Amino acid sequence: MKKLTSILLGIALVATLLTGCGSSGGASNSDAPKKVGVSMPTKDLQRWNQDGDNMEKELKAAGFEVELQYANNDPQTQLSQIETMISNGCSVLVIAAVEGNSLGEALDMAKAANVPVIAYDRLIMNSDAVSYYATFDNYKVGVVQGTYVKDTLNLDSAAGPFNIEFTAGDPGDNNAGYFFNGAYEVLKPYIESGKLVVVSGQSTFEEVATPQWKSETAQNRAENILSSFYADGTNVDVWLCSNDSTALGVETALATNYNGTYPIITGQDCDKENTKNMIAGKQSMSVFKDTRTLASQVVKMVGQILKGETVDVNDTSTYDNGVKVVPSFLCEPVFADANNYKTILIDSGYYTEDDLK
């Protein structure tokens, strides 16, 4: 791979000299559209398909050529795709990483070719080649989930105790820790006081993480917890899930392995199946991150980079990738539930009524 990277690096540098790609991001013909490389992690989750589609549509509407690739949740595939984008003359890279620590060689190549990198929704770790980060306020996503649980159970006044379980996200995704920590910090005082009880005892991120956010993995773990700790009729009052794919796994496990009172279940992304479950009473809420807003912001940032303008950021202190604090733009998340989903999801044009039938 090092030899291949060296070869590709040489090709990229030659291409930079021949086409004028680099800090100006332009071709020798100033009228030629500039190419933007967009690397998404997978097509397996609805949200990444939407993100890729939104990004491609917005970038093309802004006059850019787009090279969009999906990496099938494989870090090596993503690394290779990004190297090809650089060799193909992309002026800017927008990358939603499969794993935040797995793109070192491709990022070294981007830096050598003077190609700016925007980390998209997932912070790319341990590289000074990351120019900017565009995401939602990921800690706040968790805070919204934890606050929903606190308010719904009226934890400040109710006697309790209430039983709670946690299902977090992919340990390879830097965001997953922010989601979990945001929620846990809200609920921690109630756990310490005994008002919330983690019956399984599994309450650290490492214990509750779900590799690749897979529904099947979340389902298997939930089934084990239910059979081990709730088969005697004990109720689980809350199952705090960091996103919709993990929530879907927990909901499937509850349908066949649990006879108690149905718990509060949180989620994130407002995927179609989960929104249908909210309407049906099988999921309590989902944090909505309107990827159209994020895509629009990234397109704006790409344009600012290529024009040599000041790039919009609203956070310059939070996101340290281990090498540098990455200038970031954070969009605001909101939550949807059975009471407000029509306003947030349908009236905004994100879904149609038919999408949720």
The pLDDT, as a whole number, for residue 90 is: 97
Structure tokens that stand for 111 in this block = 């830096």
- Structural domain boundaries in the chain: 2-130+290-331, 138-289+352-356
pLDDT tens for 243-256 read 999 999 999 999 99
For all residues of the chain together, what is the average pLDDT? Answer: 91
The 10 Å Cβ neighbour count of residue 49 is 14
Query: What was the pLDDT predicted at 20?
Result: 38
Contact 115, 86 (CB under 8 A): yes
Question: Does residue 2 or residue 102 have the better pLDDT?
Answer: 102
Cα(271)–Cα(210) distance, integer angstroms: 18
> Is residue 313 scored above 80 in pLDDT?
yes
Query: How far apart (Å, rounded) are the C-alpha atoms in residues 82 and 105?
Result: 10
User: Which of helix, strand or coil describes residue 348?
Assistant: coil
Tell me what pLDDT residue 6 has.
47
- Distance (Å, whole) CA 196 – CA 208: 17
Contact 316, 325 (CB under 8 A): yes
- Cα 243 from Cα 283, distance rounded (Å): 11
pLDDT tens sequence across 80-104 = 999 999 999 999 999 999 988 889 8
| Cβ-contact 150, 156 below 8 angstroms | yes
Overall average pLDDT of the 326-331 stretch: 96
Q: Give me the pLDDT at residue 104, please.
A: 87
pLDDT at 26: 37
- State the CB neighbour count (10 A cutoff) for residue 185: 13
| Confidence category of residue 188, pLDDT binned at 50, 70, 90 | very high
Of 280, 279, 222, nearest to 251 by C-alpha is 222
The confidence score (pLDDT) of residue 247 equals 98
The token pair that represents 95 in the structure block? 């990358």
Reported as a pLDDT band with limits 50, 70 and 90, residue 30 is low
- More reliable by pLDDT, 202 or 13: 202
pLDDT for 256-286, tens place per residue?
A: 999 999 999 999 999 999 999 999 999 999 9
CATH classification of 138-289+352-356, choosing from 1.10.1040.10, 3.40.50.920, 3.40.50.2300, 3.30.70.20?
Answer: 3.40.50.2300
What is the residue type of 190?
Y
CATH class of 2-130+290-331: alpha beta
pLDDT recorded at residue 31: 61
Distance separating alpha carbons of residues 110 and 101, to the nearest angstrom: 15
pLDDT at 4: 45
- Mean pLDDT within 226-235: 97
* Equal fold, 2-130+290-331 vs 138-289+352-356: yes
User: Which residue has tokens 């989930």?
Assistant: 145
State residue 328 phi and psi, 5-degree precision.
Answer: -130, 155
User: Taking residues 156-161, what's their average pLDDT?
Assistant: 95
What's the CA gap between 336 and 352, in Å, rounded?
A: 15
Burial 106-141 (b: 16+ CB within 10 A, else e): bbebbbebebbbbbbbbbbbebebbbbbbbbbbbbb
Whether 295 shows a pLDDT value over 80: the answer reads: yes
Query: From residue 270, how far is each of 73, 234, 279, 296, 350 by CA, in Å?
Result: 21, 29, 12, 19, 10
**pLDDT given at position 3:** 44
